[in-house]
Amino acid sequence: MEYKDYYQILGISNNASQDDIKRAYRKLARKYHPDLNSEADAEERFKEVGEAYEVLKDPEKRVAYDQLGANWKAGQAGFQPPPDWDAGFEYHGGGFTSAHEQDFSDFFESLFGQQAGGFSGQRTGGHGFQVHGQDSHARIFIDLEDAYHGATRSLTLRATELDGSGRPIQKTRTLNVKIPRGVRPGQNIRLQAQGSAGIGGGKPGDLYLEVEFNPHSIYRVDGHDVYIDVPLTPWEAALGCSIDIPTPDGMVELKVPEASSSGKKMRLRGRGIPGKTAGDFYVVLEIVMPKKLSSEEKNLYQSLRAESGYNPRAELGGWR
């Protein structure tokens, strides 16, 4: 099905005023009216002009078309007036009137004659109808600490509206979003009635914010679990030690057992992202050598080499 650019059909820009739209329509309707134009495609062009005017002359339908038209290409948008909705158009001037006789295109019917994308139409009396606003989706980035303690963040949204002259304009609004404690990456925060505005008094849609975490300097997140890499000296790993570990919820004392290897994971149960089922906090040990050894340190390591018979490569099939 071909997408119809109603602005292009009328030969106007998408920021044209309602008066500009009316003038363009009258000019083209007179030009292509079958009673006044004998060209083979005059009737088809006349129908296209009438269809374009039917949408753009009505500020509510124009906003709907502007908001949904691009999404329609992906089959994601549309809204539904009831089957008996009056979809005629009218032309005044030039000695003729055309109404209720227009056969609208499949594109028009797909946009205004069937339900899609979360929109539905409801007749409100006369020729009016209500359209529920479309749900909107966005992404919000928060810090890991926000998920531990909760927070409030500001979010700026932009929406298309018509000004007093009927021209579409961008308006911004700022929302204070409450970040709930325990939220996890990939979850959605639902803000009721903060999506796209409804048409004809219809209820606004909802806004869904997908949560993502900002990269952290020392932590990494996997689901509801949190990981930190902790460096140890060789003697701390060999002899065991007690060290303070920073967590997003405060410092925790951790006892490292003797003979700990690099890569060993130690779990702090329930200290991950909080929730009904809290995640765990994992400390991953990493043995780090001094960048430079003193003479005394070298002597100690040489004594250790002479005294110890341990060879880890011997456990891998006879390596030396």
Domain covering 6-131, topology? Helix Hairpins (1.10.287)
Q: How many CA atoms lie within 13 A of 203 on its CB side?
A: 9
Higher-pLDDT residue of 122, 115: 122
Locate the domains of the chain by residue range: 6-131, 136-213, 220-316
Residue range 114-140: average pLDDT? 57
* CATH 2.40.50.140 applies to domain 220-316: no
The DSSP call for residue 186 is T
pLDDT tens-place string over residues 264-281: 999 999 999 999 999 999
pLDDT tens-place string over residues 33-54: 888 888 888 888 898 998 889 8
pLDDT of residue 66: 77
Closest CA to 243 of 253, 258, 235: 253
Residue range 258-268: average pLDDT? 96
Query: What angle (nearest 5°) sits at the alpha carbon of residue 13, between those of residues 11 and 19?
Result: 80
Q: Which residues are 249's β-sheet partners?
A: none
Positive or negative, the Cα torsion across 30, 4, 205, 83?
Answer: positive
Average of per-residue pLDDT values in the chain: 80
Same fold, 136-213 and 220-316: yes
Q: What is the separation of C-alpha 253 from the centre of its chain, rounded to a whole number of angstroms? A: 40
| Percent of the residues in the chain that have a pLDDT greater than 70, as a whole number | 77
Q: In what order do the strands lie in the sheet with 207-213?
A: 136-142, 207-213, 188-191
Answering whether pTM is above 0.85, one says no
Domain made up of 136-213: CATH architecture: Sandwich (2.60)
